[in-house]
């Protein structure tokens, strides 16, 4: 039931000021309210977020879901490496839209922007996940793999 597309910004070479982005589209078998709660309630987010090689029980999330509020998500990978990402919510429209900055603790200067749009549809929710302003194509490609894995887990969690 999951659909995914990666937009590689084909015009980037002609427009060097624009940075790579990706868009993943999913049809989830749950109403927008349930999908929104999975993104905005820490107790739910820790049940589905993160890569498949993450050490169990290492995921932690602190979410202050309001415009200007901050969040922090951390986990330990299967190889023992610690990961932490965080940012600020720029736009919060319950059950419809979340916009937040995203940066890894190891590279805070590489801040990017995530926009999640939720639309009701006949099967539940059409979720459009857009992550923009990547540092480079490698960062975009790595995030595409990570987000795809997490969104697969989200799909199973809300179903």
Residues 118-152: pLDDT tens digits? 999 988 999 999 999 999 999 999 999 999 999 99
| Strand order through the sheet with 97-104 | 22-28, 124-132, 112-121, 97-104, 82-93, 70-76, 60-63
Q: Is residue 32 part of a domain?
A: yes
Q: Is residue 135 part of a domain?
A: yes
- Segments forming the whole domain that contains residue 112: 24-52+93-158
Helix ranges restricted to H, 78-159: 137-158
Q: Is residue 141 part of a domain?
A: yes
Q: Is residue 119 part of a domain?
A: yes
The verdict on pTM exceeding 0.75 is yes
The CATH number given to whatever domain includes residue 35 is 3.30.530.20
Q: Is residue 31 part of a domain?
A: yes
């Amino acid at each position: 039931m999951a659909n995914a597309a990666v937009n590689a910004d084909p015009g980037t070479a002609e427009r060097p000021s624009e940075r790579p982005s990706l868009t993943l589209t999913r049809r989830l078998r749950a109403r927008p309210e349930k999908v929104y709660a999975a993104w905005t309630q820490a107790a739910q987010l820790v049940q589905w977020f993160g890569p498949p090689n993450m050490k169990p029980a290492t995921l932690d999330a602190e979410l202050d879901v309001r415009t200007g509020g901050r969040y922090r998500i951390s986990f330990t990978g299967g190889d023992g490496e610690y990961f932490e990402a965080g940012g600020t919510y720029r736009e919060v429209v319950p059950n419809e839209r979340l916009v937040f900055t995203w940066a890894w603790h190891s590279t805070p200067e590489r801040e990017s922007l995530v926009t999640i749009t939720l639309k009701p549809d006949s099967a539940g929710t059409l979720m459009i996940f857009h992550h923009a302003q990547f540092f480079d194509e490698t960062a975009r490609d790595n995030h595409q793999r990570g987000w795809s894995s997490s969104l697969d887990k989200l799909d199973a969690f809300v179903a």
